């Protein structure tokens, strides 16, 4: 099951709604496994804003079934914004991001040892010698920060532990949609460990992808735990029992989004960011379906209202109009 929560309120009504798996999340998990099987120590993951990369990393951290025969301690680290870092500050930054207390009197070497010890403890708790760190907003890290990760990798390897870094980069952080992270920033020993393997993380690219995502609400979610009631069935029980499925709405949702794009003169080739898809689905399930006792599917007006509530066009326009530092 993708999601279930033990609270009294349905998780779709919470401010922080659960992430539902997409084909892209499954593709990311496969890319990480392939990199591990090839004995690399990392992978560079690249995506545009609001495509759902952070949620994907959190999903993989919480749902470890994708590891298959592997076991691992999986940790998340959100890279802070910093103009510069000293040699001793990176270990402190990583420890703080992992919610580990440090002493201001410790030396850089001591903090690196503390970091290694913490990761080993997490491995023991997971019954594994593999630790995967999902580094979100990795574009904020400096090339020299990866030199410290090399040191950490060496420390762990020397005593039989395996460090794997999934560096998650935002491609359009400066506002230019053709932006990329260049290989030349990293020396060969860094690039060879962490960036030989690459993965492009996308949003929803086709009607089939959208239908697959929507089907997860029909089949792979559950609330309350153990009830067997999916999210779709919870909010539209009569329609669901009569054969309606959220996945059936995919062609109409896609067509409505395309119509809005055409009216706003947005490119005809496009990818739907997870941010506005998830918001659209949440609006339809929690605001439209439960309020109509005779609900058997969404009207065109319902879909348009959901796209508007999710800020679909506003988000898309921002991707094409933002210029960094006024450019």
- pLDDT of 6 reads 47
- pLDDT of 82 reads 72
CB atoms within 10 A of CB 77: 22
Residue 224: is the preceding peptide bond cis (ω within 30°)? yes
Residue 281 three-state SS? helix
List the chain domain ranges: 23-200, 207-321
Instruction: Look at the block and give the residue holding tokens 């001591």.
Output: 110
- pLDDT of 5 reads 46
CA angle 21, 178, 266 (to 5 degrees): 75
- The closest of 277, 278, 273 to 316, measured between CA atoms, is 273
Q: Which helix (H) or strand (E) holds 45?
A: strand 42-47
Distance CA 308, CA 188 (A): 47
pLDDT tens for the chain, residues 1 to 327: 555 444 579 999 999 999 998 999 999 999 999 999 999 999 999 998 778 898 999 999 999 999 999 999 999 999 887 766 666 678 888 999 999 988 878 888 999 999 999 999 999 999 999 999 999 999 988 888 999 999 999 999 999 999 999 999 987 544 334 444 444 578 889 999 999 999 999 989 999 999 999 999 999 999 999 999 999 999 999 999 999 999 999 999 999 999 999 999 999 999 999 999 999 999 999 999 999 989 999 999 999 999 999 999 998 988 765 444 433
pTM of the model: 0.85
> So what CATH class is 23-200?
alpha beta
- pLDDT of 305 reads 98
- The closest of 224, 158, 204, 164 to 41, measured between CA atoms, is 164
Q: Which residues in 230-242 are b (16+ Cβ under 10 Å) and which e?
A: bbbbbbbeebbee
Query: In the Cβ-directed half-sphere of 195, how many Cα atoms lie within 13 Å?
Result: 20
Residue 267 three-state SS? coil
- pLDDT of 179 reads 40
The two tokens of residue 58 are 């959190």
Contacts of 85 (CB under 8 A, 6+ apart): 93, 142, 144, 145
**Gyration radius (Cα) of the chain, Å:** 22
The two tokens of residue 290 are 């439960």
Taken in order 7, 13, 14, 17, the sign of the CA dihedral is positive
- pLDDT of 176 reads 39
CB atoms within 10 A of CB 269: 6
The two tokens of residue 134 are 């999902």
- pLDDT of 144 reads 86
């Amino acid at each position: 099951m993708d999601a279930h929560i033990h609270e009294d309120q349905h998780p779709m009504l919470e401010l922080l709604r659960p992430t539902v798996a997409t084909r892209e999340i499954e593709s990311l998990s496969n890319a990480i496994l392939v990199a591990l099987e090839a004995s690399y120590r990392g992978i560079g993951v690249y995506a545009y804003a609001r495509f759902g990369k952070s949620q994907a990393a959190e999903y993989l951290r919480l749902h470890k079934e994708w590891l298959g025969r592997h076991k691992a301690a999986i940790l998340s680290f959100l890279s802070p914004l910093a103009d510069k870092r000293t040699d001793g500050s990176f270990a402190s930054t990583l420890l703080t991001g992992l919610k580990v207390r440090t002493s201001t009197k410790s030396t850089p070497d001591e903090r690196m040892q503390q970091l290694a010890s913490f990761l080993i403890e997490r491995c023991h708790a997971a019954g594994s010698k593999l630790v995967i760190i999902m580094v979100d907003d990795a574009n904020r890290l400096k090339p020299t920060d990866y030199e410290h990760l090399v040191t950490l990798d060496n420390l762990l390897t020397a005593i039989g532990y395996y460090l794997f870094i999934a560096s998650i980069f935002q491609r359009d952080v400066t506002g230019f949609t053709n932006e990329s992270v260049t290989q030349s920033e990293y020396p060969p020993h860094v690039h060879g460990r962490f960036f030989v393997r690459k993965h492009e993380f996308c949003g929803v690219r086709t009607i089939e992808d959208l239908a697959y995502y929507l089907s997860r609400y029909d089949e792979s979610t559950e609330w309350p735990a153990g009830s067997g009631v999916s999210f779709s069935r919870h909010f539209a029980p009569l329609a669901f029992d009569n054969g309606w499925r959220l996945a059936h709405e995919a062609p109409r949702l896609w067509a409505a989004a395309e119509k809005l794009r055409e009216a706003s003169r947005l490119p005809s080739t496009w990818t739907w960011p997870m941010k506005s898809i998830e918001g659209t689905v949440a609006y339809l399930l929690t605001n439209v379906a439960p309020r109509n006792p005779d609900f058997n599917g969404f009207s065109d007006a319902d879909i348009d209202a959901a796209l508007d509530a999710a800020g679909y066009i506003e988000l898309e326009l921002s991707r094409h109009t933002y210029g960094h530092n006024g450019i």
